[in-house]
Amino acid sequence: MRSAVILVKNGIGFGHIRRALLIAEALQHAGRIRPVIISQASSLALYQATSVRVVNFPLLHRVPSAITEDFYTDLMNRVLERLSPAVVIEDTYPDARYRHLAALIDRPRILVMRRLDETSFDRIRERGDFAHYDRILIAQDERDFRQEEHSPESLAAIEYGSQFAFVGNIFATASSADIADVRRAYTSTRPLIVVNGGAGGDQMPDGYGDRLFNACSQVAAALAEEGNPARFVFVTGPYYAGRPLHPTENVEVRRFEPRLSALLAAADVAVIKPGNNALSETLAGQARLILVPDVSFMEGLDEHAERVASRYDGSVGEPSRASLEPLIREALIRPPRVERVGPSRAAIDAVVREVHRMADQSSRPSIQPKSLLLMLFPPGHGDAESIRKCLPRELEDAVVVGDGGPAVRFGQILPSMSTGPRAVVVGADTRGIQPQELVEAGVQLLIHGRESAPVARWLRLHPPSPALLSISAEFVVARVESAERVHRRLARLLERSASAVLVLDLGGMPTEELPTYLQLVGSWLSAQPVQLVNLQAIVSASAARLLERKD
Amino acid sequence: MTDDSAPLVVEPMTILVCAFHVRRDDRLDSLADDIVALLEPDGTVLDLSRFDRRADVVELRKIDRRPKERR
C-alpha cells in the first residue's frame, strides 16, 4: 500500500498534532493509503493511544548544535525517501526545510491550514510560500474567513484560483456519552467552570499561564469563601511552567486531561485561551465563554477573541483577578449559550477525498498543451450572435465579446443572467466606472493591451475587493488577406509563454468573407499544439500568479 | 498539585531501541532502514527527540505498548 506522510510540528500547543492525528486516523480507516505522521514535537502525550504510525523528531530549529540539526535533517530525508509518499500533507505553516528535502521534491503536496490572522496570511502569500502546494485546504468555516479583514489580493487568490478550498474546521468532537461521563466524573450537581490555556506553553516570556491560573485560583477562593457551589477544573497542559497550583475543595488541578474535548463541552463556564482546538471543543457545548487571549503566533488572538465573543455572546478578559472575577460571576448567573457548533465529519472527509484524489492523480502526470484564450470582437454590421453562428467547429470555444456571454468591452453592460467568471476588455480610458462596480457585477478579469499603466493606476486609486485580476492581451485587427499574419502572431506569442490571450477584432471584415477567414484561423489552430481555453482557465492561472513571490 | 516533575507524568513509557553517536557513527542508511522496518504494526510510535548534547548521542525509542504488568 502506498503511503501519505503528514508533516507536523507542535510549538507551544497540541492543536497541530491533534489535527494531524484526526486526518491520519481517518485516512487509515478509509484503507486506501497508509498514513505516517512525521512530527517535530517535544511531547509524545497525544500519541499514547494512537493507531497510526509516527516518527517523532525534536523541533529541528531548536536543536542546540548545527551538526545535530544536519544529522536529523539528513535522517528525516532518508526515512522519507524509503517511505516514498504518494502524497505529502503539511500542516498550516509552509516550511522551507520540508520544501528543500530531496525526498519530497516533485511529490504532490497538500497544505491543511487552520485559521491564520490576515497579516500572516498575506505575508505567506507574498513570500510565494503557497505556490509550492498543489492544493491548500483551509480548515476554517468560509463565512468566518470572510468576516475577517483579508486583503483584496488574498481574497481574489482564494476566490478565483483553483488551489484553495474551504473544508471547514477540523477538531475533535466528543460523543454525548463521553460528555455525560466526564461531567459526572467532575460534578453532576455543581456549576462546572473549566479553565484551560491550551497545552500550557508560552509564546512570550510574559507568564500568561501563571497569571491565568493564579487569577482563577483567587476567584475560586473568593467564591468558596462565600459558599458559592461552583467547582473549578484547571487543565494546565503539560507545558505549564507557572507557580505550583494547589487543589482545594472547589478546585481540581489536572496537568493533562485526555478527555479535554468532552470536559470543555460539558462545562457551564469555560475560561480559555481561544486557540483553535480548545475554542472549537468548547463551542460544541453550551458553556458561557470567557476568552482570555495570549500573544500568539500568526493567530491574532485579540481580534479573533473579540469576534468570537461577539458572535457567541461571550466576553473577553485578561489573565488577572480584577478582569476575570466579574466576568466569571456574571457568567455563572447567565443561561447556557444557545448557539453551538455541531459535530461534523465533513471537514475530515473532504481532506481524505483530496488525499485520495491526489494519490490517484500522482501516478499519471501529464503535460498540458499551450493554452489560448481567443476573444472575438464582432464586426460593426453584425451582431455577436451572427458571428457565433459562423464559427467553425475548431473555434467553438472562442469567446465572442458582448454576445450575452461572459465578456464585454469596458462600458458595455454585462448580462445579469450569465454564470461563471466574467471579463471586461479595457483600453486606456477608464472614466465613468469604478473597479468595485465591476466586481459587484461579477467581473473577475480585466483584459488590457500592452500599455497597462492607466489601468494599473485606476486600480491603484480605487482598489476593489476582492482584487480584479488583470492580464495583458495581444490585439489584432482581422484583414481578409492576412489570416497568415494572425498565425505568425500567435506562433510568436506562444513560443514565449505557455498561455496567451488574443483579441481578434473582426470589425472591418465583410460579412461574406467572415466564414472563410474564421475557417482559416480555426484550421491552422487545430493543427498546432494549442488548446483554446475558456475564461475560467485564464482566471485560475491569473489567480495563481497572486501566490507567486513578490520581490 | 502541579510541580516541576509533573510534565513527565503524562508522557508514555518508551523503550530504548538504539543510540546513535552523531560524530562517530556512519550508518545513517542503516538507521533509516531500521526506522522504516520498525514502523510495523499500525500504531507504532518511534521517537528520536531524546538527544544528549554533551555526548552527541541521539536515542531511537519506541512507545511501549505492552500491558503495564509485563513491563
pTM value is: 0.88
Any residues with CB less than 8 A from the CB of A148 and at least 6 apart, and which? A117, A118, A303, A307
Cell 483579441 sits on residue: A503
Task: Say what the pLDDT of residue B5 is.
Answer: 40
B34: nearest CA in chain A? A79
Nearest to B63 among A47, A58, A65 (CB): A47
> What are the grid coordinates assigned to A107, written together?
511529490
Interface contact A44-B39, CB threshold 8 A = no
Per the prediction, chain A carries an average pLDDT of: 91
CA distance A90 to A112: 6
Nearest by Cα to A549 from A125, A154, A105, A119: A125
Q: Is A57 on the interface with B (CB under 8 A)?
A: yes
Q: Rounded to a whole number, what is the distance in Å from the CA of B15 to chain A's nearest CA?
A: 13
Q: Does residue A381 register a pLDDT over 70?
A: no
Interface contact A51-B58, CB threshold 8 A = no
Size of interface A-B (CB pairs under 8 A): 108
**Would the CATH topology of A176-333 be identical to that of A370-535?**
no
Distances (CA, A) of A64 to A59, A72, B25, B53, B55: 10, 12, 19, 8, 13
Lowest mean pLDDT among A162-166, A200-204, B26-30: A200-204
Angle at the Cα of A362 from the Cα atoms of A360 and A363, rounded to 5 degrees: 75
Radius of gyration of chain A from Cα atoms?
29
Does ipTM exceed 0.85? yes
CA distance A336 to A56: 41
Q: Looking at residues A292-319, what average pLDDT do you find? A: 88
Lowest mean pLDDT among A74-83, A349-358, A420-429: A420-429
Q: Does residue B59 register a pLDDT over 50?
A: yes
Q: Rounded to a whole number, what is the distance in Å from the CA of A81 to chain B's nearest CA?
A: 9
Q: Is B39 exposed, middle or buried (0-12, 13-18, 19+ CB in 10 A)?
A: buried
Contact A62, A32 (CB under 8 A): no
Nearest by Cα to A107 from A183, A4, A9: A4
Burial A380-389 (b: 16+ CB within 10 A, else e): eebebeebbe
Q: What is the pLDDT of residues A449-462, one digit of tens each?
A: 987 898 999 999 99
A363: confidence class by pLDDT, cuts 50, 70, 90: low
What phi and psi, each to the nearest 5 degrees, are found at residue A396?
-60, -30
Interface contact A44-B45, CB threshold 8 A = yes
Contacts of B28 in chain A (CB under 8 A): 71, 74-75, 78
CA distance A434 to A341: 40
Q: Looking at residues A455-475, what average pLDDT do you find? A: 94
Nearest to B3 among A43, A44, A244 (CB): A244
Interface contact A71-B11, CB threshold 8 A = no
Domain A370-535: state its class.
alpha beta
One-letter amino acid of A124: I
Q: Looking at residues A28-54, what average pLDDT do you find? A: 94
Interface contact A57-B48, CB threshold 8 A = yes
Q: Is A245 on the interface with B (CB under 8 A)?
A: yes
Fold of A3-172+347-362: Rossmann fold (3.40.50)
User: Which DSSP letter does residue A248 get?
Assistant: B
Interface contact A75-B33, CB threshold 8 A = no
Q: Is A55 on the interface with B (CB under 8 A)?
A: yes
Q: What is the pLDDT of residues A274-289, one digit of tens each?
A: 988 899 999 999 999 9
Q: Does residue A298 register a pLDDT over 90?
A: no
Strands B14-21 and B57-63 come out as antiparallel
Task: Say what the pLDDT of residue A216 is.
Answer: 97
Any residues with CB less than 8 A from the CB of A541 and at least 6 apart, and which? A371, A499
> What are the grid coordinates assigned to A336, written together?
447556557
Percent of chain A with pLDDT over 90: 69
Q: Looking at residues A137-145, what average pLDDT do you find? A: 92
Q: Looking at residues A88-97, what average pLDDT do you find? A: 93
Q: Looking at residues A87-110, what average pLDDT do you find? A: 94
Q: What is the pLDDT of residues A406-436, one digit of tens each?
A: 888 888 876 665 567 889 999 888 888 999 9
Q: What is the pLDDT of residues B35-54, one digit of tens each?
A: 999 999 999 999 999 998 88
Length of chain B: 71
Contact A134, A108 (CB under 8 A): yes
Cell 529541528 sits on residue: A60
Interface contact B2-A67, CB threshold 8 A = no
Spell out the domain ranges in chain A: 3-172+347-362, 176-333, 370-535
Distances (CA, A) of A13 to A126, A196, A320, A485: 27, 12, 22, 64
Q: Rounded to a whole number, what is the distance in Å from the CA of A55 to chain B's nearest CA?
A: 5
Q: Does residue A345 register a pLDDT over 60?
A: yes
B9: confidence class by pLDDT, cuts 50, 70, 90: low
Distances (CA, A) of A549 to A97, A123, A363: 17, 10, 29
A271: confidence class by pLDDT, cuts 50, 70, 90: very high
Spell out the domain ranges in chain B: 6-65
Q: Looking at residues A381-398, what average pLDDT do you find? A: 83
E-only strand ranges, A432-548:
443-448, 469-472, 474-477, 499-505, 530-532
Contacts of A54 in chain B (CB under 8 A): 44-46
B34: confidence class by pLDDT, cuts 50, 70, 90: very high
Best to test chain B binding among A29, A56, A214 (most B CBs inside 10 Å): A56
A403: confidence class by pLDDT, cuts 50, 70, 90: low
Homologous superfamily (CATH) for A176-333? Glycogen Phosphorylase B; (3.40.50.2000)
B11: nearest CA in chain A? A45
Q: What is the pLDDT of residues A504-518, one digit of tens each?
A: 999 888 888 889 999
Q: What is the pLDDT of residues A219-260, one digit of tens each?
A: 999 999 999 999 999 999 888 889 999 999 999 999 989 899
Best to test chain A binding among B36, B38, B40, B52 (most A CBs inside 10 Å): B36
Q: Does residue B19 register a pLDDT over 90?
A: yes
